[in-house]
Chain A
Amino acid sequence: KAGVTQTPRYLIKTRGQQVTLSCSPISGHRSVSWYQQTPGQGLQFLFEYFSETQRNKGNFPGRFSGRQFSNSRSEMNVSTLELGDSALYLCASSLGGSANEKLFFGSGTQLSVL
């Protein structure tokens, strides 16, 4: 069974640009969550989608948005990039039926904002 796939693996952007990251969950998983990982703030929850609906949202500005497609694939978008958005962005998938279930993480997209 294929794992969680994130593309691209690395991305370099400049301030003010926007970026879209993609996440393909494990087959059969309907929930996709997104996290930002930085050395200073650690891992912080961005949002979670289930059956194309956002169920949970973290404390990030509106520049961070996401969506989920009918095949459960998800994208997140960051508009008007700032230097502080440089981070490893991780997505995780799960069946989505319980808040206690195991999350399966991808290897992440490393975003550098110059």
Chain B
Amino acid sequence: GNSVTQMEGPVTLSEEAFLTINCTYTATGYPSLFWYVQYPGEGLQLLLKATKADDKGSNKGFEATYRKETTSFHLEKGSVQVSDSAVYFCALSDAGGTSYGKLTFGQGTILTVHP
């Protein structure tokens, strides 16, 4: 079956540091890939997505590129802010387009950014 593996956290950075959160996946075909973010006490919010190989998703300074050859979708940001402190989830939806509402999530990575 499908699975998503994220780097274990927690990740602690100083403000303006470079961020990378690794994500690799196992799936058949070409799934769609997502990064969701969860702030304390809130539900998940979509951060970015990519639906085919070599696509780059980007939003709010975050970027991730769909790498089929390495089955990866690593999240990066050039300069983090304290407000980026949250839990980040990598996720995929099945190829084939029938997995409505069904995402397979990684375990989540806690990011803490200090001033």
Contacts and interface: CB of A to CB of B under 8 A. Distances in A.
B68 to A, nearest CB: 16
8 contacts: A43-B89, A92-B44, A98-B100, A99-B93, A100-B49, A100-B93, A103-B101, A107-B42
B51 A100 contact: yes
Interface of A: 4, 31-33, 42-45, 48, 50, 55-56, 58, 90, 92, 94, 96, 98-100, 102-103, 105-108
Interface string B38-74: 0001111110010100000000000000000000000
B3 to A, nearest CB: 11
B102 A31 contact: no
Contact of A31 (B44, B93, B100, B105): B100
Nearest to B94: A99
Contacts of B97: 98-100
